[in-house]
Chains A and B, each alone.
Chain A
Amino acid sequence: GESVGLHLPTLSVQEGDNSIINCAYSNSASDYFIWYKQESGKGPQFIIDIRSNMDKRQGQRVTVLLNKTVKHLSLQIAATQPGDSAVYFCAENQGAQKLVFGQGTRLTINP
């Protein structure tokens, strides 16, 4: 079946550097995407979202880019901080307002 997946399972960056987390999706009909942050032992926390009629959206220190041509989604985190260490999931709205989650990327911020 169709699914949302992530290119890299782990990512380590130095504190203060920028990080980019990628996600590939296969359902071309998906019209809405969300990035979540999940800390150990906790539920997902909403970071930022983007609709398919946009290709970029910015938040505080985060930017999401959407490339519908290649079905690719990315999350950029600027000036990373230790508190950014977590697992990041992209999620795709696959009809009936159901969210399908990608496999996740573990981001580690090194001091």
Chain B
Amino acid sequence: GAVVSQHPSRVICKSGTSVKIECRSLDFQATTMFWYRQFPKQSLMLMATSNEGSKATYEQGVEKDKFLINHASLTLSTLTVTSAHPEDSSFYICSARIGTAASEAFFGQGTRLTVV
């Protein structure tokens, strides 16, 4: 099956620093990648949708200057949390989609970000 890999799986950073999370589709080319945030005991909330070579589309309430998304190739998207604060601590999950159908989206294993 299609594999999506996120790196790192866990990261701890100091308040005010930036951290980059990578999302790679290992055995397929992803037309679209999605970034989600999940707080403890809550659901996944879509942050943004990115297509290779174009600017990401952010959901309402998500600061694009704080959560920088780069989708430079069909197999890699990155999420950079800039000037991180403790309230940014969360579980970040990406998904990569092969085609255009929702059923063709595969999820990464997530990245646990802790800002201290």
Q: Taking the complex as formed, is A41 at the interface, i.e. its CB lies under 8 A from any CB of chain B?
A: yes
Q: A42-B109, A42-B110 are in contact. Are A100 and B103 (CB under 8 A)?
A: no
Interface size classification for chain B: 20 to 34
Contact with B along A6-27 (1 / 0, CB 8 A): 0000000000000000000000
* Interface range, A side: 20 to 34
Given contacts A32-B103, A44-B93, contact A89 B110 (CB under 8 A): no
The chain A residue with its CB closest to the CB of B32 is A97
Bound: A49/B102 CA distance, A: 10
CB pair A103 B42 closer than 8 Å = yes
Question: Nearest A residue to B1 by beta-carbon distance?
Answer: A46
Task: Please report the number of residue pairs spanning A and B whose Cβ atoms sit closer than 8 angstroms.
Answer: 52
**Docked CA distance A6–B95 (Å):** 22
CB nearest neighbor in B for A39: B109
Q: How far is the CB of B69 from chain A (nearest CB, A)?
A: 15
Q: Which residues of B contact A41 (CB under 8 A)?
A: 91, 110, 112
Given A96-B49, A99-B34, A104-B43, 12 other A-B contacts at CB below 8 A? A32-B103, A34-B103, A42-B109, A42-B110, A44-B44, A91-B102, A97-B32, A97-B101, A98-B34, A99-B46, A99-B102, A99-B105
